[in-house]
Chains A and B, each alone.
Chain A
């Protein structure tokens, strides 16, 4: 299995630009999570999906952030417009409801907003 795949691995953009992060979960996993990690705040849950349906988006910082999961093998996290305070590493993780809740993380996307 290829594991969770994220793209791009690095993204540098200017303030005000739109940013789209992509994730392919592990095949067969029915839960998908988006996290943000910073030195100050650690690993924060932004939103999670079950069977492609958003379940809890209370961690999404503001309306500039949106996430979609059009099918079981693909999800996007979009920031529009981006701001310097959005700079962080964004992780996607997936898990199966049949397990003990162990989450498998992708390698992350390091976002820098100038």
Chain B
């Protein structure tokens, strides 16, 4: 069974701070996806990374896929209250995804 461990599980920070969320596995994935989920809604895809070492930027969010395609990180610069939510990483194998446990982020104004 492929498992994805996310850390930290909870993070509460002040507006303007930077943060990094980690997603680690002992398994190799063909792709790594990051989703954000807001209360009362389903997860929404933020980014997909497929190449080992790949870095993608989405405004203040930077995503990195590990060289061995077993881990990933999400870095948010100058966090804003609108970034509050549950961040989920998911490892892809074929058309199936294995989800991590999630990081619940709260950004206080």
A: residues with CB less than 8 A from B are 4, 31, 42-43, 45, 48, 50, 56, 91, 93, 95, 97, 100-108
Tell whether, in the assembled complex, residue B99 and residue A31 are in contact, meaning their CB atoms are under 8 Å apart: no
B58 interfacial by beta-carbon distance below 8 Å: no
Tell whether, in the assembled complex, residue B92 and residue A101 are in contact, meaning their CB atoms are under 8 Å apart: yes
Partner of B31, one of A48, A50, A100, A106: A100
Q: Cβ of B85: which chain A residues have Cβ within 8 Å of it?
A: none
By size class, the interface of chain B is: 20 to 34
Tell whether, in the assembled complex, residue A100 and residue B50 are in contact, meaning their CB atoms are under 8 Å apart: yes
Q: Which of B19-27, B40-48, B62-70, B72-80 contacts A (4 or more CB under 8 A)?
A: B40-48
Partner of A108, one of B33, B41, B95: B41
CB distance from B91 to the nearest CB of A (A): 10
With CB as the reference atom, state the residue of chain A lying closest to B6.
Answer: A42
Tell whether, in the assembled complex, residue B45 and residue A103 are in contact, meaning their CB atoms are under 8 Å apart: yes
Tell whether, in the assembled complex, residue B40 and residue A43 are in contact, meaning their CB atoms are under 8 Å apart: no
Given known pairs A42-B102, A100-B31, A100-B48, the reply for A105 and B95 (CB within 8 Å) is: no
Q: Cβ of B45: which chain A residues have Cβ within 8 Å of it?
A: 102-104
Q: Cβ of A107: which chain B residues have Cβ within 8 Å of it?
A: 40-42
Q: Cβ of B102: which chain A residues have Cβ within 8 Å of it?
A: 42-43
Q: Cβ of A93: which chain B residues have Cβ within 8 Å of it?
A: 42
Q: Cβ of A108: which chain B residues have Cβ within 8 Å of it?
A: 40-42
Q: Cβ of B44: which chain A residues have Cβ within 8 Å of it?
A: 105
Tell whether, in the assembled complex, residue A45 and residue B96 are in contact, meaning their CB atoms are under 8 Å apart: yes
Tell whether, in the assembled complex, residue A101 and residue B33 are in contact, meaning their CB atoms are under 8 Å apart: yes
Q: Which of B40, B95, B100 gathers most chain A CB within 10 Å?
A: B95
CA distance A81 to B6 in the complex (A): 34
B94 interfacial by beta-carbon distance below 8 Å: yes
Tell whether, in the assembled complex, residue A101 and residue B40 are in contact, meaning their CB atoms are under 8 Å apart: no
